[in-house]
Amino acid sequence: MAEAAQELGVVTSRASVAMGARVEGIDLAEDGGADVIGDLRDLLLEHHLLVLPGQELSALELEAFGRRWGDLLTHPATKHRDTDYVQFIGDRVKTKFTFFRGVHPFGGGWHSDMTWHSTPPIITGLHAQRLPSSGGDTAFANQHLAYESLREDLRERIADLKAFHTGKVFGPDVEDSVHPVVRTHDETGRKALYVNGNFTKYILDMPEDESELLLYALFAHATRPEFVYRHHWQVNDLVLWDNRSVMHYAIRDYDEPRFMHRIVVKGGTPA
């Protein structure tokens, strides 16, 4: 943390023991050049999640910031009016999605983003626009810790398994994909659990009941409280996270408007 932070000339502190760094003293509207992105990337790889408070960015500025990290993906369910590459996430949209395990508003239920996609986003950026007077936190679970603390025989059992992920919850034409149950981070080499209760339907080459039991065991383990950082939002917080390393859950425990802008940076094929 020290080196990248020193180069950035900012103050960083750990967000929690499970993951995350807070990065203060940087204004991305003014200072989003290649050096800054390189240093932020180092911090993100180390901590899996960055909190950048006080960022005043329009949707188009957020999009421009996102493009410095890579190509952006669009999302079928939540388009911003000014651009296809920013998602508007607001509870005025009453849509509830029936995921494989249960019904949730958008972002609810533990998931890594868009795992139904053949090249799911490696990084998501979420920018708080309007918040309820209480509630509306987002919880994150560190999937490296989850993998590393699995019982050894379970780690061996899942080592070469693949799982089927479906995007049909967002429409009949949205793609499905098969990904490894254990994902190796292409930049750090660290392994992580890569199955989730929203999009992962079954494990390949396994009887249905066995697949179901194994998935439930993995889901229960993956979100143990000690792997979790819960972010309490302030307006203009920009939180970036690495979907290769963490799952997240938008907690719908409020009854007032909550608006977010989101970008997702395209990754490669999970391996």
Ligand X SMILES: O=C(O)CCC(=O)C(=O)O
Q: Which two tokens stand for residue 180?
A: 């490894």
Report the nearest approach of ligand X to the CB of residue 7 (Å): 29
Distances (CA, A) of 139 to 4, 17, 29, 113, 155: 26, 14, 27, 14, 25
Among Fe ion, ligand X, none, residue 218 binds (CB under 5-8 Å by kind) = none
Q: What angle is formed at CA 233 by the lines to CA 232 and CA 237, rounded to 5 degrees?
A: 135
Per partner kind, with CB cut-offs from 5 to 8 A, the member of ligand X, Fe ion, none near residue 89 is ligand X
Residues lying near ligand X in the complex (CB under 6 A) = 89, 107, 113, 124, 126, 138, 248, 250, 260, 262
Closest CB to ligand X among residues 36, 239: 239
Length of the chain: 271
Helices (H) and strands (E) in the chain, counts: 6, 17
Instruction: Pick one of Fe ion, ligand X, none as the site partner of residue 109 (Cβ within 5 to 8 A by kind).
Output: none
Beta carbon nearer to ligand X, 12 or 243:
243
Decide which of ligand X, Fe ion, none touches 50; Cβ closer than 5 to 8 Å per partner kind.
none
Residues making contact with Fe ion (CB under 5 A): 107, 113
C-beta of 33 vs 171, nearer to ligand X: 171
The span from the CA of 81 to the CA of 79, in Å, is 6
- Give me 107's structure tokens: 């972002």
Q: Min. distance of Cβ 107 from Fe ion in angstroms?
A: 5
From Fe ion, ligand X, none, interface partner of 262 (C-beta below 5 to 8 A by class)? ligand X
Residue in the shown chain whose Cβ atom is closest to ligand X: 107
Instruction: Please tell me what DSSP assigns to residue 226.
Output: G
* Exposure on the CB side of residue 116, measured as CA atoms within 13 A: 21
Per the CB < 8 A criterion, the answer to whether 8 and 37 are in contact is no
**CB closer to Fe ion, 4 vs 51:** 51
d(CA 230, CA 233): 10
Closer residue to ligand X, CB minimum distance, 137 or 212? 137
Minimum distance of Fe ion from residue 114's CB (angstroms): 8
